[in-house]
Each structure stands twice: as C-alpha cells, then as structure tokens.
Amino acid sequence: MQATILRTGPVLRFMPKGVLKSFKQKPPKKVPALKCEVVSDAKTIAEVQRFRARVFGSAYGIYFDQGIDVDRFDEYSIHVVVRDTKTNEIAACTRVVTPKAKEKLGSYYSESEFDLTDYLKGKDQVYEIGRTCVDEAYRGGKALSVLWMGMVPLIVRELDAKYLIGTVSVNLGIKSEKIIATQGYIQEKAKSKKIVSLKAFDIKDYLTTYSDDANFFEGHKEKEVEKEVLLKYRKKDVPSLIKKYKNAGATFSKEAYYDEDFNCADYFVAVKVNKRMQLKLKLVCKIIDMKAKK
C-alpha cells in the first residue's frame, strides 16, 4: 500500500534530474515468467529494502541514505516478493504488518498519517499491507496481479485476516491528471468515509498553486469548483493499485494525507474480509493449488 516513509527513517534528499536516468530500465521485450514468494531471511529483506529505495527513488526523485528504504516496521513484518524467473530479480514487493507487530510497536504505519482510533475500535485480526511497489520495467503487466494472487493463501490460510488496511499513494510530481482522476474515482466510483488525515491534502489549493489546471477555477463559483474538477477525470489516470482495491470492495478515506518528503497524496484504504470474500479467496487458493500440481 504505500510509497511513503516514516520521518524517523533514512534521510531523504532530492536528486538532480540527470541522476534519475540511471534508474530507468527498458521493459522486457517478452512477457516474463513471474513467481511470488514469502521471505523472512535477513539477506532477502535487505534485497527488498534496496529494491524499494531504487524504485521509490526513481518514481519520486529522491534517494535514500546507504541506498536502502528501511523503517522500524520491516523487522516485524511479513515480506512478499515477485521475481522474474529468468533473471531472479525482484519485480514487485509488499509487506504485511501483523497485529502482534502493532502491539509491540504501538501503532500501524498508517496511524502516522491518519487518526484510526474510531476505525480500529473493536476490530481484531487487522493486518496492514504497505510499501507496495512495482519495478518500472514490469508495470502495466501482470506483476501486480501475481503479487496479489501470491498473497491470497497467506491472507486466508495462515493469517486468517479479518481486515486489511493501508495507504495508497498518488505521485504529485508527474501530472495533475492523476490526482484529479483519483479523487474523482474515489468519490464517484468507490466507497469512501470520513477518516481524519493528520495533514490533509487540499486538492483545490494544490491545483491553484502548482498545477496547469489552475485556470480551470476561473469563471466558476466556489461551490461548483470541487464537483466539476473531480468529475473531470479519466479512469486510465487512476493508479492500478487503487483500482484493484476498489474492485476488492475497499473503503477509502475521503481526504488524503499530504506526504511532503515524497510529494504525494496518500489515501487510507481498508478491506473487510467478509464471508463472501473469504469464499472467493478460498476458490482462488484451490485454483492456485491445482495449477501447482500440474
């Protein structure tokens, strides 16, 4: 879920634009064969942290001290990776923060961005999915799907999760269409609720101050602005991860958190693993088992 970082993590500095070119990789000419695995050894987790630093660094124009993206949650999380079977390189990854980790550390990562007091009240078996990222060379393909499919047996069989939570990010440094599309998509197409952001992202202020869409506000009455701006979106500009969550029945926060370090807007997202979803996930598990036996 999230391309964000705790303020207590590594020092971030903005890189010269020329440096970003060294991160770019050409997409594979053929669709690669991918495999998903749960990892726990220190060597592989260190590989994951280097991978995240490279991918996040390329996407957000920053770099991490010592070339690693690490915070206090990594040590107590379950890490899931997707590898290219031909090169054995990581194509995508995510992590799962367990309730035991939350109890030990005092909070979930998303609580550093949102007030979840009311949401978490009375809930158990809550697992947080975070730090999800896909290598640029594998985006637009099946890497994200393989990652999610690989997590299904973990969520259903081993964790018996009742709720999945986290944050999803929209990069504000690319183009304003992405945040307009996402805000419109969440408000018009997805389930959303009032969850207080600890540093609310103001889309109207952002568009007026930083975006080429600033002139859109001219000639509009204040009450008309938000509705008209948010309806001015294209589904293709919505990040894939947000669409996958929506299709899974997720609930999003109405407002986003503004992450200054990454220059992105983060939305809280939650999925209730109800009986209907459990049946669907168990069916997926059976299909995965059948394919594994072939």
Q: Where along the chain do its domains lie?
A: 12-293
Alpha-carbon distance of 155 to 77, in angstroms, equals 14
CA 201 – CA 232 distance, rounded (Å): 19
Q: Which regions in the chain score pLDDT beneath 50?
A: 1-29, 220, 223
| CA atoms within 13 Å, Cβ hemisphere of 186 | 29
Distance from C-alpha of 20 to C-alpha of 63, rounded to nearest angstrom: 10
Distance in angstroms (rounded) separating the CA atoms of residues 184 and 9: 32
Query: By the 8 A CB rule, do 133 and 56 touch?
Result: yes
Identify the pLDDT of residue 159: 86
Residue 217 · residue 208 · CB < 8 Å: yes
- Taking the model in full, what pTM does it have? 0.79
The 3-state DSSP composition of the chain as helix, strand, coil percent (nearest 5) reads 45, 25, 30
On whether the 12-293 domain is CATH 3.30.300.30, my answer is no
What is the rounded distance in angstroms from the CA atom of residue 187 to the CA atom of residue 193? 10
Rounded Cα–Cα distance for residues 84 and 288 (Å):
18
Residue 5 confidence (pLDDT): 38
Are 241 and 132 contacting, i.e. CB atoms less than 8 angstroms apart?
Answer: yes
